[in-house]
A and B are shown apart, each in its own frame.
Chain A
Amino acid sequence: MTFLNFFISGISLGSIYAIIALGYTMVYGIAKMLNFAHGDVIMVGAYVCFYAVSRYNLNPFLGVIIAMFLCTVLGILVERFAYKPLRQAPSLAVLITAIGMSYFLQNTALLLWSSNPKVFPSIIGRGSFKLFDGNLSVSHITVLTISVCIVIMIVLSLFIGKTKLGKAMRACSEDKGAAQLMGINVNATISMTFAIGSGLAAIAGALLCSAYPTLMPTTGALPGIKAFTAAVFGGIGSIPGAFLGGLMLGVIEIFAKAYISSQLSDAVVFAVLIIVLLVKPAGLLGKSIQEKV
């Protein structure tokens, strides 16, 4: 039973990684850039939601919607001013700009909202489902996070697979030049990707802070890196991969803490990642691209 309980804890933690990883992987899949500021957009989303709910006493779901809206705007602005001018630049330059953006958002948050941690009000309360005479408990927020993850995953997959805009995104991802020749507005498509990714970040922020309620300007940074790892784990660019990678990372982390050593759990997580990448160099569900000679 303890094992099952740990498994469920792992899934709860993993579902949070998964939802952050979805944003990472989507932006990477289309724009081919590691958006290191994603974790910080999540933090902004969480703060907006926090203020909407605790200061203005709005309904939590309304709070999430406001946060989504503001984060989408933020994502578009960030993309417009920091990433768009670098479309032709080497990918490393964009990476560094994204890191600069991450510092920028963190420090702005510090000035706006101070460094004092805030306790995030859970959007659906802190209850849990009890199974097997209360021996096993699954918190509501975990169930919600996983459901939201699955919904987002399906919607995103359908969106990218079936809609016209989604097709344009895939085309940009495959070959920007060719996409342009086919009459696709590459710039607009990439901006759209960021807008969607940032909107998702707001949901991730609300769920992250509902599950683990302290909120500080640095809240997004470390989960961001973990989620990035999860995205690579599952095969970066692959949407189901991000989901699977996130869940697995969470479970591995909890099991490493429980059965190996709580002190070395991070080392174990990263060691597993390395082994997986050595066996499957493009991640669990990633496409390995054949080299053309």
Chain B
Amino acid sequence: MTMKRLINLKRTEARRIFITYSAVVIAYVIFQVMSSSGFLSSSMRGMLVPICAYMVMAVSLNLVVGISGELSLGHAGFMSIGAFSGVASAILMQSTITNAPVRLALAMIVGAIFAAIAGFLIGIPVLRLKGDYLAIVTLAFGEIIKSILNNFYFGVDAQGLHFSMLTDTTRLLKGGRLIIRGPMGISGIMKIATFPMGFILVMISLMVVFNLVNSRSGRAFMAIRDDRIAAESIGLDITKYKMMAFVTSAALAGAAGALFAMNYSTIVANKFDFNTSILILVFVVLGGQGNMLGSIIAAAALTVLPEKLRGFSDYRMLLYAIILIVTMLGTNNAEIREFFTKLNPFRRKEEA
């Protein structure tokens, strides 16, 4: 009996994974075809890459919030580290690696590595805490990262790389380039991020997360989330597993940050503030904790929504807030949900 249930459970899980992959692939094919045949508005075309980046952010945060069960309010910090290190490395590689997609891929890897290191260092103190206290410490780290990047200078010249904090003391030789300029961020970025690369990154992060979740470690994550004490008593090394989820999540966020940044000609540290962390958390909660497809749909929908509301000019952000509240009520309150289900028979399918 239990064996049968387990097999059933595995089947549903496998089906869910399959649906998620195919939904992403189908959506990609549709949008790629529409985009190349000119059916897509500039507005939509411009959002394809950031949507991919936000999807990866949402999936990676869902690993921490949904699977591992820790509330993180500083996820944008990792995105920021990935963005700055990724873009800086892409600029350094500009002359040696002329192939743009290769350079982008390398930059995303660099971004992922730096963010993973930061994730590891931050994870050491953070994962000793619990609940809301853990949340506030991640918020604090997010702010610290922002503050440091706002005071960080990094340049390159014939003599090599130069770093400085607080004031620009790099004193570059003629012909050198000050890449990160404190509060002014990075300017003049070559926009090499593309939709296909974004798609690949979304697929990779899904694979990483699904493989992790359905491995021995993944079951350990969920055991810890559901009952920490029981998990500990059967000898699971809680810190190790939490760290694994945290670092993986940070690495994916770093790659997403690099992708995101290279879609614009300029970035600043202030972009990746508390509000951005919250935005990503909204994707996760709206899409359903632990539900990767939900995260992906929510990320896309909530990125497109404010753009679609432009017709309402001054009332746009007010409407956005109302829609956000109503959706949260609609998906979390039994009575209201019932009301909406009656109203729209297709709704349940969208959410699944």
| A-to-B contact residues, CB < 8 Å | 34, 82, 85-86, 88-90, 92-93, 95-97, 99-101, 103-104, 107-108, 110-111, 225, 228-229, 232, 236, 261, 263-264, 266-267, 270-271, 273-274, 277-278, 281-283, 291, 293
Residue of B nearest to A32 (CB): B132
B148 lies within 8 A of A267 (CB): yes
**A270 surroundings in chain B (CB, below 8 A):** 140-141, 143-144, 147
Which residues does B use to contact A, with CB under 8 Å?
65, 71, 125, 128-130, 132-133, 136-137, 139-141, 143-144, 147-148, 150-151, 166, 229, 274, 278, 281-282, 285-286, 289, 314-315, 317-318, 320-322, 324-325, 328-329, 331-336
Q: Out of B229, B325, B336, which one reaches A100, CB within 8 Å?
A: B325
Which B residues are in CB contact (< 8 Å) with A88?
Answer: 333-334
Q: A85-B329, A267-B148, A273-B140 are in contact. Are A103 and B317 (CB under 8 A)?
A: yes
Kindly state the separation between the CA atoms of A263 and B147 in the bound complex, as whole angstroms. 8
A-B contact pairs, 20 of them (CB 8 A): A82-B325, A86-B329, A89-B332, A93-B332, A96-B281, A97-B328, A100-B321, A100-B328, A101-B325, A103-B320, A111-B315, A225-B139, A225-B274, A229-B136, A264-B147, A266-B147, A270-B141, A270-B147, A274-B140, A283-B133
Is there contact, CB below 8 Å, between A90 and B332? yes
Are B133 and A277 closer than 8 Å at their CB atoms? yes
8 Å CB contact of A278 from B65, B125, B229: B125
Contacting residue for A96 out of B151, B286, B334, CB 8 A: B286
- A82 to B326 alpha-carbon distance, docked (Å): 8
A225 to B285: give the CA distance in the assembly, Å.
Answer: 21
A89 vs B288: C-alpha distance in the bound complex, in angstroms? Answer: 12
Residues of A within 8 A of B321 (CB): 100-101, 103-104, 107
Q: A110 to chain B: which residues have CB within 8 Å?
A: 317
Residue of B nearest to A265 (CB): B147
- In order of increasing CB-CB distance, the 3 nearest A-B pairs are A103-B321, A270-B140, A89-B332
Bound-complex Cα distance A44 to B231 (A): 47
Q: Bound state CA distance, A108 and B324, in angstroms?
A: 15
CB distance from B287 to the nearest CB of A (A): 11
Contacts of B147 in A (CB 8 A): 264, 266-267, 270
Task: State whether B136 touches A273 (Cβ < 8 A).
Answer: yes
| CA A55 to CA B329, docked complex, whole Å | 38
Partner of A85, one of B130, B132, B274, B336: B336
Is there an interface contact between B324 and A103, defined as CB atoms closer than 8 Å? yes
Q: Is the CB of B143 within 8 A of A266?
A: yes
Nearest-CB residue, chain A, relative to B228: A291
**In the assembled complex, which residues on chain B have CB atoms less than 8 Å from the CB atom of A82?**
325, 329
Q: Verify A232–B132 contact, CB threshold 8 A.
A: yes
Given A89-B333, A278-B125, are A267 and B320 also a contact pair (CB < 8 Å)?
no
CB contact under 8 A between A277 and B143, given known A103-B320, A111-B315, A264-B151: no
A86, A88, A100, A104 — most chain B CB neighbours (10 Å)? A100
Q: Given the interface contacts A34-B132, A229-B136, A281-B133, does A293 sit within 8 Å of B229 by beta carbon?
A: yes
- Do B318 and A96 touch across chains, with their CB atoms under 8 A apart? no
CB closest residue in chain B, given A102: B321
| B317 neighbours in A (Cβ, 8 Å) | 103, 107, 110
Write the nearest CB–CB distance from B151 to chain A, whole angstroms. Answer: 5
| Residues in B neighbouring A267, C-beta threshold 8 A | 143-144, 147-148
In the assembled complex, the Cα of A100 lies from the Cα of B322 at a distance in Å of: 7
| Contact in complex: A100, B324 (CB < 8 Å) | yes
Given known pairs A264-B147, A270-B143, the reply for A93 and B328 (CB within 8 Å) is yes
Task: Determine the chain B residues whose CB is within 8 A of the CB of A107 once the complex forms.
Answer: 317-318, 321
Asked whether A232 and B136 contact (CB < 8 A) given A104-B318, A104-B322, the answer is: yes
Residues of chain B contacted by A85 (CB below 8 angstroms)? 329, 332-333, 335-336
Q: Looking across the interface, which residue of chain B has its beta carbon closest to that of A84?
A: B333
Residues of A contacting B133 in the complex (Cβ-Cβ under 8 angstroms): 232, 277, 281-283
Task: With both chains docked as a complex, state the minimum distance between the C-beta of A104 and any C-beta of chain B, in angstroms.
Answer: 4
